[in-house]
Amino acid sequence: MINLPEGGRRLITLPEPARLRLVDLAAVGLGGLYGRPLRAVLSALGIAIGVAAMVGLVGISTVSRAALLAQIEKLGTNMLTVSAGSTLTGEPATLPATAERMVARIPGVTGVSATGLVDTVTVRRTDKIDIATTGGITVQAARPGLFGALGATVRSGTFLNAATSRYPAVVLGATAATRLGVDRAGGHVHIGGRWFLVIGVADRVPLAAEINRSALIGWEYARTLGFDGQPTTVYERSSDDTVTAVRELLPATVDPEHPEQVTVSRPSDALLAGAEAERTLNALLFGLGGIALLAGGVGIANIMVIAVLERRQEIGLRRSLGATRGQIRLQFLTESVTLSALGGLAGVLLGLAVCAVFALVKGWPLAVPLPAVAGGALAAVLMGAVAGIYPARRAALLTPTEALGS
């Protein structure tokens, strides 16, 4: 409403500010990025590194956990080991000689075998090596069905059978073979003052680490080296639905007189615990990636503040031409979010590439860390929005005369 010279009045309607369509918003928002491409790349690089660290670190842990779970599924969780505990006085107990036969009678048991420690001898590469130098390798008597119960395999040669168990023949565990410098069957090692033919070199046994560090000889021949015939460890396999029931029966079955002196364990529990540890580790790695992402967000905030200072005349011109404060705010906020989103996308791709290379090198299944991918991308966008709020508000508060006057 204005007053006319004659004293009359006329109602004048001011035109509404032009609406900023999405296409126009994208154009003005990306204009700053196109105008300074090197600065945009360097700014997005901070976000990309943070997201890549998050996705890469969590991804490597996820791949490791997936490989561990695949190994557990392949090996099964139905194997139990029985070993001697301690007496009431704290002295080491022993398993009865009948332990293996008694375990085989339990309903649901599908396989059973045993090993016995031959602590009277050591194994060496040659007879020129000091007898006290054991290299951490133990000599154990083994039943022919041991590898069947363990689900183990040999990478060279063959395992003991009824015939070779009566002669000086030995099968080396994976670690023992490495320490002795034996990589294939056919050579000889020195055990208890005698030369033994290496008839097999075993692959690594994940569920029985003690087998990896052992030189396995026949049960019958071990008696000639002073072995007393007492089993040290009994390995038992049962069906998946009976493993719990079998575990409860094992102590009393192995040693009816002293079941409290029998220790029963499930080796796969340790692997499952390792898988859970990997999951817990993911939270820590996610936090470390978040810290790197925060640093990238601070960098974007700094760049946007500088952009507002450098483009004051542009802001003043747009305000003079009718742009509202809300449109100026959206312009700079769009620029900040786009910059952060592009960095987040690059970081996700880089992190996934690291995971793929790691899985390929290790020969493990590729497991995509979906929570880290989604969390990294979302965090990048949110970080860009938060980092752009202050610069966008500062730009919107500039008046046309203030902006153009600078």
Per-residue pLDDT tens for 144-153?
A: 999 988 888 9
pLDDT at 160: 94
Do 238 and 49 touch, CB atoms closer than 8 A? no
Gyration radius from the chain CA atoms: 36
Q: Which two tokens stand for residue 106?
A: 């339990």
Q: What was the pLDDT predicted at 273?
A: 61
- The DSSP call for residue 224 is G
**Low-confidence residues in the chain, pLDDT < 70:** 1-35, 68-69, 71-76, 268-286, 288-289, 292-293, 309-310, 400-406
Look at residue 294 in the predicted model and tell me its pLDDT: 73
Question: Which one-letter DSSP state was computed for residue 365?
Answer: P
The pTM assigned to this predicted structure is 0.61
How far apart CA 136 and CA 146 sit, in angstroms, is 21
**The predicted structure's pLDDT at residue 196:** 96
Q: Is 284 left (phi over 0), alpha (psi -120 to 50) or beta?
A: alpha
| 1-40 burial: b if 16+ Cβ within 10 Å, else e | eeeeeeeeeeeeeeeeeeebeeeeeeebbbebbeebeeeb
Question: C-alpha 333: how far from its chain's center?
Answer: 37
What pLDDT, on the 0 to 100 scale, is given for residue 33?
66
Q: What is the pLDDT of residues 166-194, one digit of tens each?
A: 999 999 999 999 999 998 998 899 998 89
pLDDT of residue 14: 47
Helical pair 312-320 and 325-362, crossing angle rounded to 10 deg? 130
**How is residue 107 written in tokens?**
């309903």
Give the residue carrying structure tokens 């003690």. Answer: 210
Q: Which of 391, 359, 385, 349 is nearest to 55 (CA)?
A: 349
> From CA 334, how far away is CA 213, in angstroms rounded?
62
- pLDDT of res. 199: 95
